[in-house]
Each structure stands twice: as C-alpha cells, then as structure tokens.
Amino acid sequence: MVENFGIKFIRKETHLALPTVTSIRLAQNLYDILFQYVINEEKESKLQEFIALLESHIKSKADGPFSIPISEISFLEDGLEELKLLNWMEVSVWIAEIIPDTDVDASLEYYENVFSSLSDYVKYKKISDNRILLYPYSLISY
C-alpha cells in the first residue's frame, strides 16, 4: 500500500561510496591496506570501527550502497586517496527525513510501507526510523 508522505531535505554531505562488488574478504584486505595509514592507537581504533561498519553492511545484504561521510574517515589522511584508487567514489549524498501525512498514525508499519514504495523509485539507505540517505542517479546508472 502506498502511503501519503513528504520528504524534507536536511543537509548534503560528501561521502565515499563502496564499489558495488563486495565481500567480507574485501573488508579484511581493506584493513590490511589501510593499516599503514594509522600511526597511533586512536586511529587504529577508528579504522577497526570503519571496517566493522563495512562488514556489517556486507553481511546485512542491504539494498542501498555503503557510504560514509569523508569527515568520519579523514583520520586516514593519504588512505583516502588509496580508497579512491580502489574505485571508491566521492559522492554527494542528501540526508532526508520522511514526513508523515498529518492524517496518518506514523507507526513502524507506516514507515515500512513508505520505504517499500520508495525503493521502486530512488536508491536510498535507511539510517533511522524516519531518516534516509538519498544517492545520486549517477551512482546507480549504467
């Protein structure tokens, strides 16, 4: 069932997006490659968190792409260029909020119906019950 809803633009962020071919082995290889760019325990901890997010995304078999704000992985410094050499793409991502119709009870089922309807028209990744990342058409076009 298609629900009535609106989409409110929150902000635009620059992300690095994972290439479409992924595997858990990729995550481990990426850790090995990027480890050379971490020079202290704090950066190593951040790298492990990044790899854990990536592994979680791969295991979840999510419909949307994996991306992360560049600001969150800026600790990699030159490692960011390494990611780009590995075909990670710098993309502009919109963060948007789903606004329920005023006549509707915004239950979990309501949002599930909205997300189901959206998946036919836009490429997105759900980041909370009512917030999504919207990806540019160029990321998914062939």
Mean pLDDT of the chain: 84
Buried b (16+ CB within 10 A) or exposed e, 6-28: ebeeeeebebbbbeeebeeebbe
Write out the two tokens for 48: 């492990």
- Asked if residue 118 lies in contact with residue 130, where contact means CB atoms within 8 angstroms, the answer is no
pLDDT at 140 over 80: no
- Is the pLDDT reported for residue 142 higher than 60? no
How many domains does the chain divide into? 1
Average pLDDT of the residues in 99-124: 81
Domain region containing 52:
5-140
